[in-house]
Amino acid sequence: MSLRGEDERMSGEKAPMSGAKGFALIIGGMFAVMLVLWLIATLAAP
């Protein structure tokens, strides 16, 4: 939920960079989710 608030704040402050920042945030979020899933898998694996 905090990520959505930060994204809205950033896009509101810098309109021209909203596209690039949004793209980077989406890619960063995807990598973060993959890292979290990998950590859970490694911890859950015997």
pLDDT at 36 (0 to 100): 97
Alpha helices (H) along the chain: 2-13, 18-44
Per residue of the chain (46 residues), give pLDDT as tens: 444 545 555 554 555 557 788 889 999 999 999 999 999 999 998 7
Which amino acid belongs to residue 21?
K
Using an 8 Å Cβ cutoff, are 33 and 3 in contact?
A: no
pLDDT at 37 (0 to 100): 97
